[in-house]
Amino acid sequence: MDKTKEEQLDNQQNKPLKEPTIWEEKGISRRDFIKFCTAMSAALALPVTFAPKIAQALDEIKRPTLVWLEFQDCAGNTEALLRATTPDVATLILDILSLDYHETIMAAAGHQAEEALNGVLRDQKGKYICVVEGSIPLRDDGIYCCIGGKSALSIAREVCGNAFATIAVGTCASYGGIPAAAPNPTGAVGVKDAVPGATVINLPGCPLNPDNLTATIVHYLTFGKLPETDSHGRPLFAYGKRIHDACERRSHFDAGQYVEIWGDSAHRNGHCLYKMGCKGPETYHNCPTQRYNMKTSWPVASGHGCVGCSEPNFWDTMSPFYKRLPNVPGFGIESTADKIGAGLAVATAAALTAHGVISAVKKDKDTDEKMEN
Ligand code: SF4
Ligand code: F3S
């Protein structure tokens, strides 16, 4: 374990060493801990000077209780959490918090598991944090998702209704997500709609970025309140900016350099994916800066357009994924994409018919071949 300056000073003055913090007990060096706090202040869009305040809050922490509920979901957000890194964020979360109930990863099962949840409701009323993953079906009294003989709706009303706050992770828990896509057979909704009186913050995404969950919890632990949100209940630090405005391909958008067909030279050279249906101009999320998988990449960097997974009413409003958005403002030199390169224009998304799609693709293919020549 690294010795801090403070510890060395204590030694020089022959004072007893400070009690080891929870981090030191876990074998996390002071340097890594401070790096984590600095990364958190950056994730929260705070000046780097907030890092010591975060460090102090986490040093003094009294592990608050967290329960994690799963309803109509694919467990993708749990998977994302378990694979979090830089530093081992999952470990940090598990060490910061007392994770008393999580159906997928807890050792207990059956009545034992139910008792763990009942214990939290009994002893921690109004103090615990609830995380919800997955949507909640309302149709037919919520019978389409039941756990331990209770509907997801009744569990959510009881557990979220008595929590200090609920964090809806992923688009399904935030807004209904894929289960709520038309025709929405189960009447799926997000937590806020299922439990109207509860304090809910939404961290949409498919899956969420676990760094944003950690930052939200760190914000609560540091400042004693949830971060400021937009009108869709999303924290501004993570959803305050458009993908399009932080995208590394933006200069190509402004210069009129677009991918016209998958695998063309523009695609190989990292040009803009707008014409391939990228929904970055209408999507608010910090994917370009926060990134996924140890910060190595994000959808657009990997060569696919953003599909707008963090927006309300995803999937219905963001599909078809490969039709381009009409009327995107902000073209630099040229006024619209249609004016860039005669013959490259495709019909607007609203006007596209099946026949139109085929024609547009065929036209693009011909054009691409000409460009290649
Ligand atoms: Fe990036 Fe998509 Fe915007 Fe192009 S349209 S700059 S790929 S976000
Ligand atoms: Fe989703 Fe678009 Fe980010 S698809 S993960 S919001 S780049």
**pLDDT band of 19, cuts 50, 70, 90:** low
Three-state secondary structure readout of 352-365: CCHHHHHHHHHHHH
Look at residue 353 in the predicted model and tell me its pLDDT. Answer: 25
pLDDT digits (tens, 9 = 90+) for 73-123: 999 999 888 877 654 555 656 667 788 888 888 888 888 889 999 999 999
Q: Pick 169 or 38 by higher pLDDT.
A: 169
274 lines ligand 1 (CB under 6 A): yes
281 CA → ligand 1 middle, Å = 7
Give me the long-range contacts of 246-252 (CB less than 8 A, separation at least 24). 246/286, 246/288, 246/289, 247/280, 247/288, 247/300, 248/288, 248/300, 248/301, 249/273, 249/300
280 within 8 A of 242, measured Cβ to Cβ: yes
360 CA → ligand 1 middle, Å = 20
Percent share of the chain, pLDDT over 70 = 78
299 lines ligand 2 (CB under 6 A): yes
Q: Sign of torsion, CA 13 15 16 19?
A: negative
CATH number, domain 241-335: 4.10.480.10
**pLDDT band of 35, cuts 50, 70, 90:** confident
Would you tell me how many other CB atoms lie within 10 Å of the CB of residue 76? 18
Look at residue 34 in the predicted model and tell me its pLDDT. Answer: 83
200 lines ligand 1 (CB under 6 A): no
- For 292, which DSSP code? B
Look at residue 356 in the predicted model and tell me its pLDDT. Answer: 27
When mean pLDDT is compared across 155-164, 246-255, 290-299, 300-309, the lowest value belongs to 290-299
Pocket test for ligand 1, best of 243, 267, 285, 309 (most atoms within 8 A of CB): 243
Residue 324 neighbours by CB under 8 Å, 6+ apart: 274, 275, 276, 277, 278, 337, 346, 348, 349
| Ligand number, closest to the Cα atom of 273 | 1
17 within 8 A of 6, measured Cβ to Cβ: no
CATH 4.10.480.10 maps onto the chain at: 241-335
pLDDT digits (tens, 9 = 90+) for 68-87: 999 999 999 998 888 776 54
Average pLDDT over residues 252-257: 95
Would you tell me how many other CB atoms lie within 10 Å of the CB of residue 144? 20
Three-state secondary-structure class, residue 229: strand
Q: Which atom of ligand 1 is nearest to the CA of 281?
A: 3
Packing angle, helices 210-223 and 30-43, rounded to 10: 100
Residue 131 β-bridge partners: 68, 167
CATH 3.40.50.700 maps onto the chain at: 16-239
- Asked if the model's pLDDT at residue 207 lies above 50, the reply is yes
- For 350, which DSSP code? G
Look at residue 93 in the predicted model and tell me its pLDDT. Answer: 60
| Domain formed by 16-239, architecture | 3-Layer(aba) Sandwich (3.40)
258 lines ligand 1 (CB under 6 A): no
